[in-house]
Amino acid sequence: MKRASGFGLAMLLALAAQGQTVPDSLAQRALACTGCHGKQGRAAPDGYYPRLAGKPAGYLYNQLLNFRDGRRDYGLMSELIAPLSDAYLKELAGHFASLDLPYPPPQPASLTAPELARAAQLARQGDPARGVPACTACHGERLTGSQPAVPGLLGLSRDYLNGQLGAWRSGQRRAQPPDCMARIARSLSDADLNALTQFLASQPLPTDPHPAAALPAPAPLDCGGLPR
């Protein structure tokens, strides 16, 4: 059997001790992830532990590497995947990427008309004066991400979006260099960050919520997590 996380292995041993037949499948071993990330990786009810289902496999794989190798800081995740090989992490990422499940409803926003206009500008046009590209330039015209390694921004809670942008600002979350998202997060004012996360969390998913097959143009910034 391929190596499973300590939590997943404990679950398997408990079932075996009860005389139950335990299937040796990736879906069974991935149950260790769903304790935090929700059933089938749909996200936890509070939205803080994010959705895994349907995200690009390359993005999920990069994040697993970032947790394992210390670029992202969350002790439980780091401990769970510390002993796992690159090949196993890639297989696990592919499993969750293959799941096609419904998204939660959008969250209501409490933005003034000027704040809403500013957030829409940042999402669709960016702020060239600050060196901030549009979200759509990397995350796709529909903001649902793009293959092979850019995640969607819709269907996520405002708390999660705030937490991640704040972590990039503080250096608690890092990506493979050059870290373009850290640069963008540090270029946003507090007011812009608040408006943008409310705007994104309030947007409904399009009819086709899947990541785009590719970006229509090269990414505006050099990002270490993207294929070159």
Q: Is the pLDDT of residue 81 over 60?
A: yes
Q: Pick the range with the lowest mean pLDDT from 20-34, 102-116, 140-154, 162-176.
A: 20-34
Residue 91 burial by Cβ neighbours in a 10 Å radius (0-12, 13-18, 19+):
middle
* Predicted pLDDT at 47: 78
pLDDT digits 0-9 by tens, 4-32: 445 555 555 555 555 667 788 888 989 99
For 49-79, write each residue's pLDDT tens digit.
Answer: 999 999 999 999 999 999 999 999 899 999 9
- Quick check: helix, strand or coil at residue 85? coil
Distance CA 196, CA 188 (A): 10
Mean pLDDT of the chain: 91
For residue 2, what pLDDT is reported?
A: 41
Look at the block and give the residue holding tokens 């969750």. Answer: 96
User: In terms of Cα–Cα distance, which of 108, 111, 180 is closest to 150?
Assistant: 180
Residue 36: its pLDDT value, please? 93
Inform me whether the pLDDT recorded for 86 exceeds 60. Answer: yes
Q: Give CA–CA dist 89/30, Å, rounded.
A: 11
pTM for this prediction: 0.89
Q: Tell me the CATH class for 6-97.
A: mainly alpha
Please list the residues that pair with 127 across neighbouring strands: 132
The string of pLDDT tens digits covering residues 194-216 is 999 999 999 999 999 999 999 88
Find the DSSP H helices in the chain: 6-17, 26-29, 31-37, 57-68, 75-81, 86-97, 113-124, 135-139, 158-170, 180-187, 190-202
What does the radius of gyration of the chain's CA atoms come to, in whole angstroms? 18
Tokens of residue 149, six digits: 């390694």
Residue 114: cis peptide before it, omega within 30 degrees of 0: no
pLDDT score, position 227 = 79
Does the fold of domain 113-202 match that of domain 6-97?
Answer: yes
Residue-range domain boundaries for the chain: 6-97, 113-202
Residue 9 has what pLDDT?
Answer: 56
Per-residue b or e along 200-220, where b marks 16 or more CB atoms closer than 10 Å to that residue's CB: bbbbebeeebbbbeebeeeeb
Q: Using CA atoms, how far apart are residues 144 and 205, in angstroms rounded to an integer?
A: 8
- Indicate whether 1 pLDDT > 50: no
Specify whether the CB–CB gap between 147 and 135 falls below 8 A: no
Mean pLDDT score, 183-195: 97
Which residues are bridge partners to 212 per DSSP? 146
CATH number of the 113-202 domain: 1.10.760.10
Count Cβ atoms below 10 Å from residue 110 Cβ, excluding itself: 7
